[in-house]
Structures are given as C-alpha cells and as structure tokens.
Amino acid sequence: MRLQNRVAIITGGANGIGKAACETFLNQGAKVVIADFDEASGKELEQHFQNQGKEVLFIAVDVASQESVENMVAQVLAHHEKIDILINNAGITRDAMLVKMTEQDFDRVLDVNLKGVFNCTQAVVPHMVSRGYGKIINTSSVSGVYGNVGQTNYAATKAAVVGMTKTWAKEFGRKGINVNAVAPGFTKTAMVEKMPEKVIQHMESIVSLQRLGETEDIANAYLFLASEESSYITGHVLHVDGGIMM
C-alpha cells in the first residue's frame, strides 16, 4: 500500500488515463476524489468503486472555471479534511491545421489544459503549504515537448505545463511540496481514437517499443510520483512514451 490514507484529487478521473489512475490509487490505499466534467461517467465509476468497498467520491467540476474549482476543493476539504495529492490530468483536444484553427477552439483548449491546471493548483496549494506536505503531478504530452501537426493550441498548453511545473517546484520545494509532470505518448483512450487511422498507424510505427501506451502505463508513473519513492524528485518531466522520440 504505497498511498495508504493519502487523499488524492484526480481531475479528468472519469475516463481514460484518469480512470486508470483512480483504480491504481485506490488499490494502493488512497482515498480518491474523481473531479470531472462528465457527471454520468463519474457517478457510474464512483458507484463501481464504492461497490468494491473503496473510499471514492465523485465531484462535478469544470476545471476551466475558478469558481467551480474552488467549490470542488471546498467539498473535498469538508469531506476529507486534507488533500495530499493533486493530479492535474483533465485535458481536451480541438485539433486543426494552424490556418484552419478557430479562435474559439484555441481559447477552449487553453482554458481547460492551461488555466485548468492553474486554477486547481492555486486552489489546493495554500492547504498543502499549511500542512507542509503535498504532491502535485501535472500532465504534459509528447506534443508539448516535441510539437505535433494539427495541435497548435494543445501543444502550446502542454509546453506551458512544463514551465508551470518547474516554476512551482522552485516556489514550493521549501514548503515540502513536490511538483512534477508526466509527458505521455500516444495512449489508448478516446482522445487518440478521434485521430485519423493513418496518423495513429504512423505514430505507432515510430514508437521504439512498437505499441501505443496503455492507460495503466501512465497511471503507474502518476503513482510513482505520488508515492514516497520519488520524494527527492521535483521539477521533473517523466516521459512515458515508449521512446517515440529521444
């Protein structure tokens, strides 16, 4: 039990990578808050884990809204009285070539993937500082590190996440808070299913390990960075991408 009695908020926990992370964290003894926009999937997942006797709570939130995030964090503290781990995992894509990208799609991706990470961390960090303990894990992407055709908006947010991670590691290291990022490669979720088949095949072919990522591959990296095994690691970007680029 690597996370016994730790309280973890997992944004975007209702589907995909976040869902796998909820299961991994619960199996390691954590009390998990699924903080997601998708009420139907979130409630279903909450019921599923509660039936297994796990300590799980679903809270509906739009990470892009500061008010919604503050409300979510207040509910977590009312229920659990502490927050040990924040996984800033919620994210969206609105892919298009640069010349075709609408301002609306540019703005929405920034609001969720960039401002959402800012909102959640800003709402949680004063509590972590007051306890002198915290683990914050942000989700970047291969797209943010290397760029990707059709992802001007998304790549910009995922590169920005790296900058925020390193900044917060410097700001909060002396307060006992570790801040790291995971940069997943192409991983089998709804996000990748939306891609043209031709592009998926190309991406798979350039991965050194010759396969797409499984959601558990990313969840295990979150687990390592949330556990005490990584207590001397901060400001790091952990690439979990099968060696797609080096």
- Describe the strand order of the beta sheet including 177-184 as a list of residue ranges: 56-60, 31-36, 7-11, 85-88, 134-139, 177-184, 237-240
Positive or negative torsion for Cα 198, 212, 60, 160: negative
Q: Does 139 help bind ligand CAA (rule: CB under 6 A)?
A: no
Among the listed ranges 21-29, 36-44, 188-196, 207-215, the one in contact with ligand CAA (CB under 6 A) is 188-196
Q: Does 180 help bind ligand NAI (rule: CB under 6 A)?
A: no
Q: Where would I find the H helices in 132-151? A: 142-146
Spatial separation of the C-alpha atoms in residues 32 and 104, rounded to whole Å: 33
Is the distance from CB of 123 to CB of 70 less than 8 angstroms?
Answer: yes
Give the contacts of 51 (CB within 8 A, at least 6 positions apart). Answer: none
Instruction: Name which of residues 125 to 164 contact ligand NAI (CB under 6 A).
Output: 139, 141
Instruction: Give least dist CB 65 to ligand CAA, A.
Output: 23
Nearer to ligand NAI (CB atom), residue 25 or residue 37? 37
Spatial separation of the C-alpha atoms in residues 149 and 98, rounded to whole Å: 9
From the list 31, 46, 56, 62, which residue makes contact with ligand NAI (rule: CB under 6 A)? 62
Phi/psi for 181 (5° steps) reads -130, 150
Instruction: Give least dist CB 95 to ligand CAA, A.
Output: 4
Instruction: Give least dist CB 57 to ligand CAA, A.
Output: 27
Please tell me the count of residues contacting ligand CAA according to CB under 6 A. Answer: 19
CB-based burial of residue 33 (10 Å sphere; 0-12 exposed, 13-18 middle, 19+ buried)?
buried
Mind telling me the catalytic residues? 154
Q: Does 97 help bind ligand CAA (rule: CB under 6 A)?
A: yes
Minimal CB distance to ligand CAA: which residue?
A: 150
Q: Does 222 help bind ligand NAI (rule: CB under 6 A)?
A: no
Q: Does 93 help bind ligand CAA (rule: CB under 6 A)?
A: yes
| Amino acid occupying residue 150 | G
Residues in touch with ligand CAA (CB under 6 A): 93, 95-97, 100, 141-143, 148-151, 154, 186, 191-192, 195-196, 199
Residues in touch with ligand NAI (CB under 6 A): 11-12, 14-18, 36-38, 61-64, 89-92, 112, 116, 139, 141, 184, 186-187, 189-192
